[in-house]
Structure 1
Amino acid sequence: GPFEPSLSSSLSGARTQRTTLFDRIKHSQPEVIQKVFAVKGDITMEGLGLSDEDEARLAEEVNVLFHAAATINFTEPMRVAVNMNMLGTKRVVSLAKKMRKLEALVHVSTAYANCHLPEVYEDLYPAPMDPGRLIQLTEWLDDKLLEDITPRLVEPRPNTYTYTKALAEHLLFNDGENLPIAVIRPSIVCGSWLEPFPGWVDNLFAFTGLLVGMGKGVLRSLYVRQGIKLDFIPVDVPINLMLVSAWNAATGKYKPDTVPIYCCSTGSQKPLTIEALAQYLKKSVRAYPFNTPLWYPDGSAKTSKFMHQLHVYCANIIPAYIADALFKLFGKKPIAVKLCQRMVKAIGALEYFMLRDWTFHTTKTQELWQSLSPVDRDLYHFDVSDLDWDRYIEAYQKGCKQYIMKEDLKDVPKALSYVNKMYYVHRLVQVLMMYGVYCLLSTDTATSLYSAFFNGATHLLSLAPTFVAAEEAEIS
């Protein structure tokens, strides 16, 4: 299976026993958990950091290899992204070649590997540069020089993540020639839809972080394009597709016309607009609020960058500095500004994806689905045509409350009462701020400023005929 950096057997075993993710299988088939054997490895190390004994065991026993290890940090330095996403792939392929019983190698890429194109097919697109040359650059150049040239390297892609994931696909097919390969390209992966149960999530990546930020009342504004379609995919959908693509790579029942690349997205079958998402979010956040939000969860989408930045400044940055001042006053460590800066940076990294539409074609994925028997379709459900966004977002919000915030659903009535009180505080603060602005603008100083501005504007307008006459004379 996929490796995580520095994953130890004991840690993996303990995590498997604790997490609710495996509750269902522990009750229905407890013996299956005992079959799990974790090996210590590191995707960033040569030989994947495997011991000789573990490598020999993997080479002898593994039939199917899933490669899902990667850095998904959009702002990752190029050297780190290359080491994990590209060299990590080379190392996995090298291990795969040693596996005597290998029947399938499934590589998890991303639908946004070719995000510079508005329309993306399930094909291997030309590499933006020779992968080997980029690897050499990271070996030769120092950090400062590599950082300086990174924007020019990744252009027209927005970040090192999409750039290195695109090149990793080429490394996979070049180095893994003759291996039974399948590539999965999921879009924005979110909480579970059906398996193991609705709403399961265990990290703050991508949309989950935004959802939690809005629910806590911290994230007040998002800069988006009106009418944009967001392509979210529940995590259990690509996992089921991974399993089926592995089976297909081994059996060859469905033979795609070109390379076995399967796009896993919702946009072509179940599009979700930003306006619809906003409605679903308001409904779900108010139905299952977090216990103690820092402020009333009333964030909104802005189509004006100026208004978005103004809102962030007034609702996040200024309050963060005030909070840190209070922290210092009471002898506590100031952390609000640092957290605010991290949030603003994270939102900024997502802007590229909130302002653009993509068409991801899923022809091969749908054909693979059609090749399954009714029983297999039920077991490995990856068809999103029956996805209900309203119900899904509600389950997602509940999942964030339970598994991210560690809050009990029994506390919902208390949370609702708290949020209702926060609503009145929120409105009171808005009224006080409006009154403060009114008082400021009605002072003698403000009147003088208005007068100066009006006089200056009048003077400029009076000079307009002179400018026009001079320009006409110059043209003639």
Structure 2
Amino acid sequence: MAEINFNEEDPDRNILDSSQIRDYFDEATVLITGSTGFLGKLILEKLLRSFTNMRRIYLIVRPKRGQSIRQRMEALLEDQLFNRVRLATPNFAEKLCYIRGECARNDLGLNANDKKLLTQEVTSVFHCAALMDFEEKLRQASYVNVRATKDLIRLAKSMKNLKSFIHVSSVFAHSCKDSVNEEFYKSSINCQQLLTIVDAFDDGTLNKLTPIIMGHSKNTFCFTKSVSEDVVKTEGVGLPIAILRPSFIIATSQEPIPGWIENLYGPTGLLVAVNLGLARSTLANPKYTIDVVPADYVVNLAIAASWNIANLQALNENQELVTRRRSIEAEIPIYNAVSSPENPINWEKYISLSRKYSSRMPSTLLVSHSSNKINSNRYLHYLYVILLHYIPAIFIDLVMFCLGKPPLLLRTYRKIDEFTETFKHFTLTQWYFKNTNTQALWKKLNATDRQLFEFDMSCLNWQSYYYVYMRGIRIYVLKDPLETVITGAAKYFKLKIMHYICGDVTGTTTQDKAPIQCRNSSGYNCEYCK
């Protein structure tokens, strides 16, 4: 694993004194759900690193695989993700308090004493817990994504010192719409109706009824997230609550580690399949925009939104302002964390940039030379799949079987096809997102907080970012350290020669035929694009 080096002097320390957001989190007590998940971990790390004067962070954690909640969290905190915090504040874990709970259970599985403790101390809540699997069964998705949200909001109503509550949703909660603004949309069913249905039927019957219950929603994740937003709208009245709607969250851009990612969800899984030479055809419209956001931008927006909703609540407590601002502030703010309004990127560029930079640090796990065709025609895509995926896979697996080795390729392609079928709604649909509230919040930050909590997507250079993104996938997802780049390059060269000897059926190359120019202020290509 490549060693991560940090500057001896942390630039954050020189500017924290004038941070409005830092001032808000001074002496704060925070509750986080989903702290063992991708986004929850990053929010936890950012809070620990940026707000050294916080009183405490409560984490609702469930025991897993024979580990107690303390053992599980201690193992999690050993991850290199927390290296910067550990370097600056070696005793940072003293601020953490672990509470046994489980979002799939009634009342989040909390006992009476823990509920009382939370209602007395918590000032800010980040509700990140969710089941992200598009193929999750409706019962489990409803319990975690909907019922847990309802139970947590009801608990929050008893929190005496609550100043902010951030509910993490998704812009794709409304994937049946091609345009998503920062506003509420009517759910096809409310929380109580959904929970009554899932409790009334056995698993077999419920699985058969799921498509009917979901209506126009394409998967249980999007469906239950739309219902959870309805819970916020109805149950959250009177609370200092806001909704954060990210699009597809991908690797971090800068902090705490550039390119950090730990999962294969969504577009990242597609890139891995393409750049390892597995996927020769991608079912997508190359000209359609794909909306992706670096994870640290989402984290920064969540923290800034928490500060902002507390400010709005404070304004409402001033009776002179209530009448004048009621029509504006009575609404629950929604923040879309999206890239397309300010810095759009289409599927063609998304895939070509990944191949460009992955070819500069080839993985030793390469299966074949990366050659991919983006097809918006489903029948043409399926033809490519038969010719370039299944026929070679059957032949290679047969050879492996004869050699006494386990055949894996055919099974891998079946998984890729299952992913393609699940994901095609997102690759063949053009969405239009608006982020007016998010842009307004960015303008509201002072210069210090803009530096510490950057989430302005117009500042992101895709060329520079993709170098970091592909490097992160190699190190943190494929577990292939940079020390093996030379070995990977030798393998890449051999596979490339074999590819062109056999003939480039897809008619694509590894890099863009014409270099894409950076949009940096100097007008010259950055170090990644030379």
TM-score by length of 2: 0.77
- For 1:176, the equivalent position in structure 2 comes to 236
- For 2:178, the equivalent position in structure 1 comes to 118
Q: CA deviation at 1:80?
A: 1.9
Q: CA deviation at 1:412?
A: 1.6
- For 1:6, the equivalent position in structure 2 comes to 62
Retained in 1: the 8 A contact 2:275–2:355?
no
Rounded Cα–Cα distance in structure 2 between residues aligned with 1:315 and 1:89: 45
Amino acid at match of 2:123: N
Give the 3-state SS of the residue equivalent to 2:99 in structure 1. Answer: coil
- For 1:399, the equivalent position in structure 2 comes to 472
Is the aligned partner of 1:427 residue 2:458?
A: no
Give the 3-state SS of the residue equivalent to 1:105 in structure 2. Answer: strand
- For 1:241, the equivalent position in structure 2 comes to 301
Amino acid at match of 2:428: L
Aligned pairs for 1:48-67 (under 5 A) are: 48-67=108-127
Rounded Cα–Cα distance in structure 2 between residues aligned with 1:321 and 1:219: 15
Q: CA deviation at 1:354?
A: 0.5
Amino acid at match of 2:501: L
- For 1:450, the equivalent position in structure 2 comes to none
Rounded Cα–Cα distance in structure 1 between residues aligned with 2:382 and 2:197: 37
Rounded Cα–Cα distance in structure 1 between residues aligned with 2:464 and 2:195: 45
Is the aligned partner of 1:209 residue 2:269?
A: yes
- For 1:444, the equivalent position in structure 2 comes to none
Aligned pairs for 1:167-316 (under 5 A) are: 167-252=227-312, 258-316=331-389
Q: CA deviation at 1:429?
A: 3.6
- For 1:140, the equivalent position in structure 2 comes to 200
Query: What percentage of residue pairs aligned between the two structures are identical?
Result: 29
Instruction: Kindly name which structure, 1 or 2, has the bigger radius of gyration based on alpha carbons.
Output: 1
Q: CA offsets, 1:362-406, max 9 Å, x none? A: 011111111111111111111111111111112100001111122
Residues 107 and 326 of structure 1, relative CA distance in 2, 3 Å threshold: same
Q: CA offsets, 1:118-176, max 9 Å, x none? A: 21111111121232112111111233332223223323221121111011011123223
Q: Decide which of 429, 436, 449 is 1:356's aligned counterpart.
A: 429
Give the 3-state SS of the residue equivalent to 1:189 in structure 2. Answer: strand
- For 2:420, the equivalent position in structure 1 comes to 347
Is the aligned partner of 1:79 residue 2:135?
A: no
Unaligned ranges ≥5, structure 1: 433-476
Q: CA deviation at 1:90?
A: 1.4
- For 2:49, the equivalent position in structure 1 comes to none
Rounded Cα–Cα distance in structure 2 between residues aligned with 1:205 and 1:226: 20
Give the 3-state SS of the residue equivalent to 1:34 in structure 2. Answer: helix
CA RMSD of aligned residues (A): 2.2
Retained in 2: the 8 A contact 1:189–1:234?
yes
Rounded Cα–Cα distance in structure 2 between residues aligned with 1:49 and 1:154: 27
Rounded Cα–Cα distance in structure 2 between residues aligned with 1:249 and 1:151: 37
Residues 292 and 246 of structure 1, relative CA distance in 2, 3 Å threshold: same
Q: CA deviation at 1:185?
A: 0.3
Retained in 2: the 8 A contact 1:217–1:297?
yes
Q: CA deviation at 1:327?
A: 4.5
Q: Larger % of helix: which?
A: 1
Rounded Cα–Cα distance in structure 1 between residues aligned with 2:303 and 2:110: 25
Amino acid at match of 2:351: A
- For 2:446, the equivalent position in structure 1 comes to 373
Q: CA deviation at 1:95?
A: 2.7
Retained in 2: the 8 A contact 1:124–1:259?
no
- For 1:446, the equivalent position in structure 2 comes to none
Q: CA deviation at 1:53?
A: 4.0
Q: CA deviation at 1:109?
A: 0.4
Q: CA deviation at 1:308?
A: 1.2
Out of 170-179 and 189-198, give the one that drifted further: 170-179
Is the aligned partner of 1:29 residue 2:89?
A: yes
Out of 257-266 and 385-394, give the one that drifted further: 257-266
TM-score by length of 1: 0.85
Rounded Cα–Cα distance in structure 2 between residues aligned with 1:299 and 1:43: 41
Q: CA deviation at 1:351?
A: 0.6
Residues 173 and 50 of structure 1, relative CA distance in 2, 3 Å threshold: same
Q: Decide which of 413, 416, 420 is 2:489's aligned counterpart.
A: 416
Retained in 2: the 8 A contact 1:105–1:182?
yes
Residues 60 and 335 of structure 1, relative CA distance in 2, 3 Å threshold: farther
Q: CA offsets, 1:179-198, max 9 Å, x none? A: 21010000111001122132
Q: CA deviation at 1:333?
A: 4.5
Unaligned ranges ≥5, structure 2: 1-31, 37-60, 64-68, 316-324, 506-530
Retained in 1: the 8 A contact 2:342–2:458?
yes
Out of 209-218 and 348-357, give the one that drifted further: 209-218
Residues 218 and 226 of structure 1, relative CA distance in 2, 3 Å threshold: closer
Retained in 2: the 8 A contact 1:9–1:37?
no
Retained in 1: the 8 A contact 2:188–2:215?
no
Rounded Cα–Cα distance in structure 1 between residues aligned with 2:117 and 2:407: 50
Residues 425 and 136 of structure 1, relative CA distance in 2, 3 Å threshold: same
Give the 3-state SS of the residue equivalent to 2:442 in structure 1. Answer: helix
Rounded Cα–Cα distance in structure 1 between residues aligned with 2:80 and 2:217: 38
Residues 93 and 295 of structure 1, relative CA distance in 2, 3 Å threshold: same
